[in-house]
Structure 1
Amino acid sequence: MDCSILLFVPLLVGRLAASESLFSPRELHCVFFAYANVSCYWKPGVKTPLVINYTLQVNLTGLKSELCHSPHTHCSVQVGSLNRPYCIRVLAHISQQETASSDTLCLNGIDAAQLPAPHSFWMSPNRPRCMRLRWSAPKNFPLTNQSIRNGYLLYELQYTTPHQPAPRSLALDLREEVHCVFSPCTPYRARIRLRYNHALSHWSGWSQSSTQRTSAEAPSSTPQLWRAIQMPDMKGFRPVTLLWKAPLTQAQCAALWYTVHCKLEDPNAAVDIGDCTDLGPANTSCHFTVPAQTCICSLSMSNSAGSSPSAIITIPSQWETEPRLLDTVQVTPLGGFRLKVRWTVLESFTLTGFVVEWCITTENTHCQGAPQWQRVEQTTNGTIIIEGVQANMCYSVSVKAQRGNRSGPGLTALAYSHQAVLCCVSVFQRPLLVQSCMSLNMAVPMWSCAGALFPCPSAMVLSPNTLSTTRVKTIPHDSFSFQPILSSTGLLVSLAGVGCMCRPTQTQEGDRMDPFCPCSLTRALLSCLLCYLAACLWQVSQQHSVFAGECDRG
């Protein structure tokens, strides 16, 4: 602080005792503005009248006092310098004869100053997480360069990014130009303000904003790598698909690409498998054809700043057999189209993790395409699958235990995802009873199945052939007709009812039926059975005639 002019004055910051009065102004505080004025604020005394006049006295030590009269609880007095000691008090004029005084506040002007805002501020990239920050003071700044270098200023940086539009603030020491508090490959918009290093000082206004982008950083995280191996051909060559996942923060950085390389484990082998190079951020797989021998594949992420550590995986040989590492695998469907997977491990092995694969399948356990997959830490024995799970599908779920870069044979389980629910929504407007299928096989019943009432993924026609069997046919939800189901024995075929397949709705409390699903499968079948029995009785009474009527849903 430039205080050479104050050497003969003790540095006094505090309040001089004054006679207490219930009319004395309270909580006096002041703000000094360079080359302008000092503005002071206070609160009225406890029993101060509503209408009262105040006098603000600003006494420059050793010189005359400057006065300001006001009926309000604030007032300003011109001052010429901040680098001087002042004693300030407020007088409350209760009456012509009575005056109450506040405590006297004595301080150096710079201690309670609000300094001018920085004249300019700019940023420039330095390293991926670093920026060079510089500012310049306006003309006639109250502090000298030496005082600034000695640390008599405090600084605050405020910034926003496209992903964080709400302003964030950091306390920085701008005596150092380079600051490594930023994220790589990110555009920033920032500004600064400053204050004198004292408890009574006030923040300056903000500088103008500066916009700059940090430079790219070489990927630091190792990508996750997995493989899908298909059956070998007659010559022993196997199609292999390498699959990988990269952290989103790195995948969004500029100019990112992948490099994949595979080679035989035997260094003396002369087989060239090939590489996958210059794969963009949208690529998450690479296809190879590898021989029967053991192969080693590696994957790295790169950008203009460098490359990540390589992920390495081993493709076992065609004849290699790994010991069994898992004991059991169990898959349970959950609401919201999720699958819960649990497994147990044989205790005699030390593992480094697990890989869970799943795919839609039919009657076998082979995937119809590249499987979905995720890695799980070795400390857990289960996970919940969400990605890519659809309703009413059979999934093949396998779990493989890993030891380093190698994986065991794994265990596979089949499970259906959360099934849709059969709902009673309508019966036929004109249920058609057929005695002779040969003569009436082109009859088309009509119904009012929900088409205009609510969306329904599909409809199901329940057609009891006999008292012991029921045929079910799925038809599109927007169809309103159906070719009757013919009995192979020529017995009576009754189109008994129509239901809709409706998906459950997931809420915070759990799964519930959508409001347009008024009943369960049991009620639907009961409705169809009652309709069938009524049709049979009616047919017998009419001696094998064809009738049309209404069937109650029950």
Structure 2
Amino acid sequence: MERRSALVWICLLGAGLALVLHPASSVTTSKALPRPPRLLGCVFLNQANVTCRWEAGDTSATHYTLQIQKRSGAVALTRNVTLKTFTCTTIDTSCTADLGKSSVRFIFCITITAHGRSSNISSDPRCQPGRIEIMLPPAILNSVKPVDETPQCLHVIWSRTLSVFPVSDREIKNGTLNSQIEVTAEGQLDIQVTNVTVRDYSFPVCLLRPGTSYTVRLRHSYRGPESPWSPWSNARQGRTAEDAPSAAPAFWRQVKQTDSKGWRLTSLLWKALPPFLANGRLLFYNVTCQTESAQILNDQGSCRDLHQTRTSCTFLLPAECCSCALTASNSAGTSPRAQIWLLGASETEPPSPRQLTARPLDDNSVNVSWTAPAKRSVSGFILEWFAVRDENSSVLHWERLNSSQTTFVITEGVKPMERYAVSVKALYSERWVGKNRTLHMYTRQAAPSAGPVVEVQQIYGGRVELSWSPVPVELLRGFIRNYTLYYTAANQPARSVLVPGNVYRYTLENLSPGNCDIFMQANTDAGTGAAGPIANVHIGSEEISKIMYVILSLMVTGTLVLALMVCLAQNKIKRKLCQFVPDPSNSSLAQWIPKTTSESMKQPSDAERTQIENSEVILSGETEPLNFDPSQTTKNFMICNQTYSSLLDPSGFHLPQSVPLSEKLFSRGPFRKTFTTDLSPCPPLYSNVVFSHTHNPAAPILSPSPPQSRDGRHVSIGDVKLPLGGDGAASPQHQSSTIFSGSMSPSSASQSHPADVTSSKHLRPQSHCTSGLSLRPDTFTHPNSPADNVSSLLPLVLVDFSYCSVVCDNHSSPAVNP
């Protein structure tokens, strides 16, 4: 029994071990089997071929075989009836098998076999209709036309080739096809692909822009997502119907010049509407301007009949505040109106933006930024830029930006090595435009391509004065920082001077005689530019002496000016010190009676009387002798701004000390006795009266009595020549007449024996003063003088009337009695 029970336990243990070990052996066997390839999908082309793709299995396959079996309908699936097999072999994971003329309407079973070195393994067959994964042939696009009264749509018409397109008309109407349309607007690179529902051979495509030309293509897919899209159809172009422009053009202005009356020649600028706003082909623009009082301005200048290609015109606007409006029109209508305002000449512009900066990004783009004005709300900004040129004008580029934009990247009309002026203005509401803020910039600088032309202005001594004009801005190619001035003298090394960029004149000094070559170069941040033309200067040795002549001329001129100033100062002093000269006829001396009686005086002889009677009387400026009234001889002589000089007595005669007038009339000294007063208010009349004493120095008596002939006729004083002698005889050597202007020296006065009276009458209708001289016979008589000696009665007297006019007429002319 024990042996039997032990055997039972052994059997049970063996059975348990067998149960335990058998699943392990089966798992080990299953892991050893390779995994076959897995089919991913196929693409069928009707009556053409089929291309399938798969995923490799675990077996290291050397090549694969694609096997496709065509079956006839769904019944064939159960009967397993094989009609035809199509195969292809490849080392890759995809292969294309030729189906010949087989239609995709049949059921196809697909199997993939992986061939290894030791064994082959095949995937399970997958059977399905060929149309499930068919790629339809491309559709035929016949036309693309606009839709009337629907400018956002196009009408597309297409067709198919029935023999190769395995979808019936009934299936199309039932919505078997999935369709897409590709639309590309004219002039744009963006391509729009839109899903459309196609249930017929024509359908509309909407959500397009009016008046826009489009290029259209079409494609289909069959049923679900397993069917790939067909190739795109042929392309057709179509244009949507036009609509009125949906926005106004961007509008701006630029005042070019203003005339004397304030009229402003204004250039009106606008930008062509983009296609998505134009809604069609623009035909023309229309501009109208009016004053603030709604008065239409008819003189439109070049703003008439604006063609669609125009983007500017000029209009003459008055000085008062006015506005201009712009509209764009196409065949469907007119756009909204764009309006700008021009402030009046007396109105003040609002402030400009702040902190304008321009930073070049590359040779053809600039990043411009600014800050909005403080404490003012703006409605937008105007950014302007143009190339700065000297020879011809450039195109103004501009952009109108909204109030939130304070930066802009300029990419239009910008080139390297060309200077640009960039400015920005703030817009305040619809009417007000602020002041502009401007800066100049380059995207890239270079050395100037030309140098300044030096011109010699003056050469004097060893100095050469030079000037030059700025280099044309087109040739600068950068900002000028300074100039280098080179000059080379004969047999000397070249020298240079650095001149600031804002200076256009310079003087070279201490140059030696000889030839000197001078030229200049302009310097920018990028380097030194080309040299300008050479100016050859010759400095002669005579140039060194010219400066001495100039200095001497200046010294002589200064001396003359100084002398003139001294004369003027003396004249002014005379006016201050000698403003009044007493009249001798009213003095006590006029009433002085000498002790010797008049009977003791010697009377003139007949010959002397005849000589006096026949004396020459010359009137300066007159052709006839003036008549004098003897009754006027007692009038006092009024001195008006007159200078008396050289009351000389050549014999050294002195008036008696008892005569008080001598202290007033005569200055100190034995020979020269003068008195002076300023008579400047009177017109200039030059008169010189000289009474000469000859033989009797002890008895010089002034006897200014009116001259009178024997028959009682008066003798006028023009040029009076009196031959006076000690014995009453006329001496020939004493017949000469001497004319004085100013003062007379004692020597000349002592040699003049006759009494010369010279008068030059000033040709004026009236005089500011009338000079009358009362000369009485008993005036200045000496006790020891004979009464008949005329020469003893006339001492030497010189009276200078160079600053006072003496008007001689019948009532005021002085006369001398014989």
Give the TM-score taking structure 1 as reference length: 0.62
Counterparts in 2 of 1:145-544, with a 5 A limit? Answer: 145-158=169-182, 163=187, 169-175=193-199, 177-180=203-206, 182=208, 187-216=213-242, 218-229=244-255, 233=259, 235-247=261-273, 249=275, 254-267=281-294, 269=295, 272=298, 274=300, 276-321=303-348, 324-326=350-352, 328=354, 330=356, 342-347=370-375, 349-357=376-384, 372-381=397-406, 399-412=424-437, 415=440, 462-463=485-486, 487=508, 495=517, 499=521, 513=526
Instruction: Tell me the residue number matched to 2:564.
Output: none
Instruction: State the Cα deviation string for residues 193-241 of structure 1 (Å, max 9, x = none).
Output: 3220212223335444434444555433322212234675455543332
Instruction: Tell me the residue number matched to 1:542.
Output: none
- Residues 1:61 and 2:74 are matched in the alignment: yes
Aligned residue for 2:89, secondary structure, equals coil
Aligned residue for 2:158, secondary structure, equals strand
CA pair 21-209 structure 1, distance change in 2 beyond 3 A: farther
Aligned residue for 1:148, secondary structure, equals helix
- Residues 1:27 and 2:39 are matched in the alignment: yes
| Contact in 2 for aligned 1:256/1:303 (Cα 8 Å) | yes
| Contact in 1 for aligned 2:86/2:98 (Cα 8 Å) | no
Cα distance between partner residues in 1 of 2:448 and 2:385: 30
Cα distance between partner residues in 2 of 1:167 and 1:421: 43
Residue identity in the other structure for 1:374: E
Question: How many residue pairs align between the two structures?
Answer: 451
CA pair 488-78 structure 1, distance change in 2 beyond 3 A: closer
- Residues 1:104 and 2:94 are matched in the alignment: no
Residue identity in the other structure for 1:50: T
Aligned residue for 2:305, secondary structure, equals strand
CA pair 262-370 structure 1, distance change in 2 beyond 3 A: farther
Which runs of 5 or more structure 1 residues have no equivalent in the other structure?
Answer: 1-18, 427-435, 442-454, 474-484, 505-512, 525-554
Cα distance between partner residues in 2 of 1:39 and 1:468: 85
| Contact in 1 for aligned 2:363/2:444 (Cα 8 Å) | no
Q: Which moved more, 1:34-43 or 1:405-414?
A: 34-43
| Contact in 2 for aligned 1:118/1:135 (Cα 8 Å) | yes
Cα distance between partner residues in 1 of 2:344 and 2:421: 24
Larger radius of gyration: 2
Aligned residue for 1:177, secondary structure, equals strand
Instruction: Give aligned-pair identity as a percent.
Output: 27
Cα distance between partner residues in 2 of 1:121 and 1:270: 53
Cα distance between partner residues in 2 of 1:93 and 1:465: 96
CA pair 152-463 structure 1, distance change in 2 beyond 3 A: same
Instruction: State the Cα deviation string for residues 31-74 of structure 1 (Å, max 9, x = none).
Output: 44546776656566542653776754445432212342646155
In the TM superposition, what is the alpha-carbon distance from 1:396 to its structure 2 partner? 6.9
| Contact in 1 for aligned 2:447/2:476 (Cα 8 Å) | no
- Higher helix residue share: 2
Give the TM-score taking structure 2 as reference length: 0.44
In the TM superposition, what is the alpha-carbon distance from 1:105 to its structure 2 partner? 1.8
CA pair 112-472 structure 1, distance change in 2 beyond 3 A: closer
In the TM superposition, what is the alpha-carbon distance from 1:312 to its structure 2 partner? 0.9
Instruction: State the Cα deviation string for residues 371-416 of structure 1 (Å, max 9, x = none).
Output: 6543333224455767667899997765432222212441555657
Which runs of 5 or more structure 2 residues have no equivalent in the other structure?
Answer: 1-30, 452-458, 465-474, 490-494, 532-818
| Contact in 2 for aligned 1:463/1:472 (Cα 8 Å) | no
In the TM superposition, what is the alpha-carbon distance from 1:179 to its structure 2 partner? 0.8
1:47 to 59, 70, 80: 59
Instruction: State the Cα deviation string for residues 489-537 of structure 1 (Å, max 9, x = none).
Output: 76578658864667x7xxxxxxxx5xxx5x799xx9xxxxxxxxxxxxx
Residue identity in the other structure for 2:254: A
- Residues 1:139 and 2:139 are matched in the alignment: no
Instruction: State the Cα deviation string for residues 420-465 of structure 1 (Å, max 9, x = none).
Output: 5669999xxxxxxxxx9999x9xxxxxxxxxxxxx99799762369
| Contact in 2 for aligned 1:343/1:381 (Cα 8 Å) | yes
RMSD: 5.4
Cα distance between partner residues in 1 of 2:446 and 2:87: 79
In the TM superposition, what is the alpha-carbon distance from 1:258 to its structure 2 partner? 1.7
